[in-house]
Chain A
């Protein structure tokens, strides 16, 4: 509410100072009406000029509001959760669960006891998200925000959102998320290109799978062992000779 009042006050001040007529009021479309179920058509309006001083001021204000974290969803967040909501398990609202629905599993908890105790959590990517999964995560974050408005919970949501956002654009995926809680809070994302070449080990495994597939297909298409001519046998299917092994 205070942001709305502040915004209105700022709007008045800016329009007063710049003495610019609001484009919205100048371009107001004629009222449409529906009488007796019939549609009354109206003409489209002409395009207003672009990039006036007023619009620049609005953009600056919009950016400032965004940086402070107020947005169109603020009114949504202010709605109280219903009684039914309270029935849901609180366990679902914790951070590990949010990371889990975002596709990340807790892999490591590292704690150290000394003069400065340390605690860090490492999450690894467990699965890619489908579009429906992303919608689901967004929904859970929105629900989490309504039920847990505190600053610590907001930080948890910011981490989950950052992970989601990182995977949204740019051809990168977040492989690992490291969160240090003590002694100093720190967040580290390990990003890797979505179309990165496979590593040596993975390439070896893929080649063996390929070879195995070729062998299996060869077995299936070959009529019978005794009918198969020796020339059709693949080199891989042949028993290795001592000379070949030496190579």
Chain B
């Protein structure tokens, strides 16, 4: 069992806690945001230990969060999908009845090219067919040999396929796999007919290794694109694109140009809302003993303008801010620790 921690700031000596740091469960696609938020929280609050991060698939993260109360279970859950009612009921069945839900912003991924380069009109299917390790002719799968965009679709320009993608294990890579590659192969009939989810996903997200696709660290993506040969396309967060100072241009995907308007209206498919859940019961003391300190503070930090507002540090992880009215609503929810209704 956990040790009791009383080492706390001077004005926080009233109750003991079972854990000395917050525990955040996160899905891979929100990992970058969770990591930055943990760092921002530790910087903001003196004596606060950096929260511990547990990364697992969204469903597993939901299960961990809802597994019960106590020091072994996460205090926070950061995911890119709203908690379904069934999961919420599962939470309640395990005693997790007081859940606070806030929306942090939107994660969006864009295709960008250098200003002055030809901007092909791409669909997510084009991108999947250009980047995937295998292509199908309708009956069999064979190695992808397309060298030019026109090989993928004759209506596309005869330019060499050269794409910079985020490196593996980054949140942006997970977003690209979910929102571009899987979206692109969802309508490919031979893949659609595969029943098993894991096998189907493998077919969708396995990238070719013949040099047409280059993995680049997320923070070096803009520089890498500026230094790349003409015609190169890069996959990056919308925030990176906006901070490129006009040197890069977004490409429309599936007929929609990425932008604040198209993302908020849900028209741009390569975006998702990011949700933060907190257990209010962990922020309370029972008979002088609580689980952990800092839940209210981390909620406040996450919804603050310096974190999730325009230009906030979470935008470095690709988070696009909510509209001002929605941000104010989330801050109120965080401040009052309003419970999520079913």
A62: CB under 8 A from chain B?
yes
Inter-subunit contact B290/A47 (CB<8 Å): yes
B281: CB under 8 A from chain A?
yes
A206: CB under 8 A from chain B?
no
Q: With A46-B12, A72-B341, A75-B326 as given contacts, are A161 and B84 in contact (CB-CB < 8 Å)?
A: yes
Q: With A47-B293, A71-B342 as given contacts, are A84 and B178 in contact (CB-CB < 8 Å)?
A: no
Inter-subunit contact A47/B44 (CB<8 Å): no
A218: CB under 8 A from chain B?
no
Q: With A50-B286, A62-B341 as given contacts, are A44 and B267 in contact (CB-CB < 8 Å)?
A: no
Inter-subunit contact B267/A85 (CB<8 Å): yes
Q: With A24-B337, A39-B44, A127-B192 as given contacts, are A135 and B81 in contact (CB-CB < 8 Å)?
A: yes
Q: Per-residue CB proximity of A117-151 to B under 8 Å, as 1/0?
A: 00000000011111111111011001100100000
B335: CB under 8 A from chain A?
yes
The closest CB in chain A to the CB of B86 belongs to A165
* CB within 8 Å of A: which B176-235 residues: 177-179, 182-183, 186, 192-198, 200-201
Within the assembled complex, what's the spacing in Å between the Cα atoms of A41 and B63?
Answer: 34
Q: Which residue of A39, A41, A66, A133 is within 8 Å of B182 (Cβ)?
A: A133
The closest CB in chain B to the CB of A52 belongs to B284
A168: CB under 8 A from chain B?
yes
B154: CB under 8 A from chain A?
no
A238: CB under 8 A from chain B?
no
* CB within 8 Å of A: which B61-98 residues: 62-63, 80-82, 84-87, 90, 97-98
Within the assembled complex, what's the spacing in Å between the Cα atoms of A115 and B35?
Answer: 65
Inter-subunit contact A44/B47 (CB<8 Å): yes
B272: CB under 8 A from chain A?
yes
Q: Which residue of A49, A63, A130 is within 8 Å of B200 (Cβ)?
A: A130
Inter-subunit contact B86/A168 (CB<8 Å): yes
The interface stretch among B3-11, B113-121, B163-171 is B3-11
Chain B residues with Cβ under 8 A from A221's Cβ? none
A73: CB under 8 A from chain B?
yes
Inter-subunit contact A46/B14 (CB<8 Å): yes
The interface stretch among A27-35, A207-215, A222-230 is A27-35
- For residue B232, give the distance in angstroms from its CB to the closest CB of chain A: 26
The interface stretch among B126-134, B237-245, B294-302 is B294-302
Query: Which of under 10, 10 to 19, 20 to 34, or 35 or more describes the interface residues of B?
Result: 35 or more
Inter-subunit contact A132/B15 (CB<8 Å): no
B261: CB under 8 A from chain A?
yes
- For residue A202, give the distance in angstroms from its CB to the closest CB of chain B: 13
Q: Which residue of B90, B293, B333 is within 8 Å of A169 (Cβ)?
A: B90
Central interface residue in B15, B266, B286, by most chain A CB within 10 Å: B266
Q: With A44-B297, A49-B284 as given contacts, are A135 and B341 in contact (CB-CB < 8 Å)?
A: no
Chain B residues with Cβ under 8 A from A29's Cβ? 296-297, 300
Inter-subunit contact B46/A43 (CB<8 Å): yes
Query: Which of under 10, 10 to 19, 20 to 34, or 35 or more describes the interface residues of A?
Result: 35 or more
A98: CB under 8 A from chain B?
no
- For residue A229, give the distance in angstroms from its CB to the closest CB of chain B: 37
A233: CB under 8 A from chain B?
no
B265: CB under 8 A from chain A?
yes
Chain B residues with Cβ under 8 A from A136's Cβ? 182-183, 186
Inter-subunit contact B339/A127 (CB<8 Å): no
Inter-subunit contact B9/A43 (CB<8 Å): yes
- For residue A187, give the distance in angstroms from its CB to the closest CB of chain B: 16
Residues of B within 8 A of A (CB): 8-15, 17, 27, 43-48, 57-59, 62-63, 80-82, 84-87, 90, 97-98, 101, 103, 177-179, 182-183, 186, 192-198, 200-201, 256, 261-262, 264-267, 269, 272, 281, 283-286, 290, 293-294, 296-297, 300-301, 304, 306, 326, 329, 333, 335-337, 339-342
Given contacts A41-B43, A62-B339, A127-B194, 4 further A-B contacts (CB under 8 A): A44-B297, A59-B98, A128-B195, A143-B266
What 7 A-B pairs are tightest by C-beta distance, nearest first?
A66-B342, A43-B9, A50-B284, A165-B86, A128-B197, A132-B178, A47-B290
Residues of A within 8 A of B (CB): 22, 24, 27-29, 32, 34, 39, 41-51, 55, 58-59, 62-63, 65-67, 70-73, 75, 79, 81-82, 84-85, 88, 126-136, 138-139, 142-143, 146, 161, 164-166, 168-169
